[in-house]
């Protein structure tokens, strides 16, 4: 009989994490680090759900057995292969409620025999845990600064030196502006962004301070949870300042390699806010591959937006002109403006794969 564990104990285990829900459920959101090993396809899950409503549980169970039966051998081989790759650590299994789907796969694993663990309450319980994470107080500090001051690069450099950092833009696969998704992987759902964010915060629990970038309420289409957003609004801000030319160079480095058509489309999306004259100049500069000229048109708009937001949020300015991200991080630590985390390996604080260089 597979052991059932509550969320925190289950997450603390080291075995491979397998989510047996359908692919669509998994794409909507899952425990970070999980692998999808679906018991049913999306169409099969829909068929069984309809049958359960129309004909009852027994008919749905029988149909499920008929669908899964021919695939049992292949699934057993998958389970055995995963167990071999992970030196026999327990297989951690989850489904939506921790019910029949994960229990069925656990039964199959036990026939091999392979050790298994089940998440009590399933992914639904994990989601309750995620939302509760944002309600608790966190020792947040924000890194602010106008567009192009390299805040994300600086945060990553601080993390590499042992500071406690959560890279919101890396978790969201977006840099936070109309141009923010260019060159980055597709964004996760807001649900999965929350999952990644709660997991990242939990990994830093116990730090004296946790650094985030000063963001809007949404990073692309990913919304920062309201409870955490309220804490961010009360957090102290360290405002990075750099000369205009450095900021332009930073933006050219990031966006000068992007598809000109995508840059033009992103410019048109904010045309009403840029105004017709600036929009026309920016589009002409993009067509001519004059990236510095295009960036300067955008900076006027984004600087006004940032200054308006900052006026309601007192901050401590720090001049970092002429310093690369690594040198700036060393300076902030030396001045005591940032604390090193009191635990763990700096590598554990690095952002997930796919994190992009920041523009804000």
Q: Which two tokens stand for residue 53?
A: 């409503």
CA angle 7, 138, 160 (to 5 degrees): 90
Cα(59)–Cα(210) distance, rounded to whole angstroms? 52
Residue 359 burial (CB count, 10 A): 27
For the record, the structure tokens of 183 come out as 């060159």
Q: What share of the chain is helix, strand, coil (3-state, %, to 5)?
A: 55, 10, 35
Which residue from 214, 130, 126, 132 is spatially nearest to 166, judged by alpha carbons?
214
295 is catalytic: no
Per the rule left: phi > 0, alpha: psi between -120 and 50, beta: everything else, 31 is beta
Q: CA–CA separation, 258 vs 273, rounded Å? A: 22
Please, are residues 14 and 117 in contact by the beta-carbon 8 Å criterion?
no
- In the set 95, 222, 295, 324, the catalytic residue is 95
Cα–Cα distance between 142 and 235 in angstroms, integer? 7
Q: Tell me 354's DSSP state.
A: T
Positions marked active-site: 95
């Amino acid at each position: 009989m597979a052991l059932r564990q509550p969320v925190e104990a289950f997450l603390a285990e080291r075995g491979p994490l397998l989510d047996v829900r359908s692919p669509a459920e998994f794409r909507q959101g899952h425990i970070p680090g999980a692998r999808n090993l679906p018991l049913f396809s999306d169409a099969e899950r829909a068929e069984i759900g309809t049958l359960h409503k129309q004909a009852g549980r027994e008919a749905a169970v029988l149909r499920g057995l008929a669908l899964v039966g021919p695939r049992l051998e292949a699934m057993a081989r998958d389970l055995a292969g995963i167990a071999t790759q992970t030196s026999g650590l327990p297989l951690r299994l989850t489904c939506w409620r921790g019910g029949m789907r994960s229990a069925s796969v656990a039964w199959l694993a036990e026939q091999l025999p392979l050790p298994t663990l089940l998440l009590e309450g399933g992914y639904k319980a994990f989601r309750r845990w995620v939302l509760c994470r944002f309600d608790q107080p966190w020792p947040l500090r924000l890194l602010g600064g106008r567009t192009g001051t390299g805040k994300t690069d600086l945060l990553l450099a601080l993390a590499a030196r042992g500071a406690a950092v959560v890279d919101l833009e890396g978790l969201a696969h977006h840099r936070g502006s109309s141009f923010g998704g260019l060159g980055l992987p597709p964004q996760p759902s807001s649900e999965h962004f929350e999952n990644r964010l709660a997991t990242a915060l939990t990994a830093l629990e116990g730090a004296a301070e946790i650094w985030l970038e000063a963001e809007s309420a949404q990073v692309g289409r990913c919304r920062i949870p309201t409870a955490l957003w309220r804490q961010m609004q009360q957090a102290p801000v360290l405002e990075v300042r750099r000369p205009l030319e450095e900021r332009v160079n930073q933006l050219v480095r990031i966006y000068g390699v992007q598809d000109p058509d995508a840059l033009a489309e992103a410019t048109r999306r904010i045309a009403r806010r840029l105004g017709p004259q600036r929009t026309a100049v920016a589009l002409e500069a993009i067509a001519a591959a004059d990236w510095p000229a295009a960036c300067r048109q955008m900076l006027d708009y984004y600087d006004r937006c940032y200054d308006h937001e900052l006026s309601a949020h007192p901050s401590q300015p720090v001049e970092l002109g002429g310093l690369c991200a690594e040198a700036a991080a060393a300076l902030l630590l030396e001045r005591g403006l940032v604390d090193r985390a009191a635990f763990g390996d700096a590598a554990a604080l690095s952002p997930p794969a796919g994190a992009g260089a920041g523009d804000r």
